[in-house]
Structure 1
Amino acid sequence: MKNQIQFRYVLNDSWFASSENMRFIKGEQNKDFIMPLKDNRKM
């Protein structure tokens, strides 16, 4: 966010797929995200 490059989606690994990260990306950063989910993750 600091380098002023315009983007719409955040793409990340399943390692970072958590509800806290989803809330942060969608709520505070106002971006959409693409992330795979493991079976043992809570939504």
Structure 2
Amino acid sequence: MARSVTSLVHDMLFRFHHLEVASFGWSGKAIALRAFVNAMT
């Protein structure tokens, strides 16, 4: 379970990284990381 969640998070982080760099930059990264923290806790 933990492994599949980790690999899903890595996949989403990679996708978000490219999307946010293209459109949002660091603001998008902060929002995405906040959403991940909220989802994981």
Structure 2 length normalisation: TM-score?
0.34
Q: Which has the higher helix share?
A: 2
Structure 1 length normalisation: TM-score?
0.34
Which structure is richer in relative contact order (CA contacts within 8 A, separation 6 or more)? 1
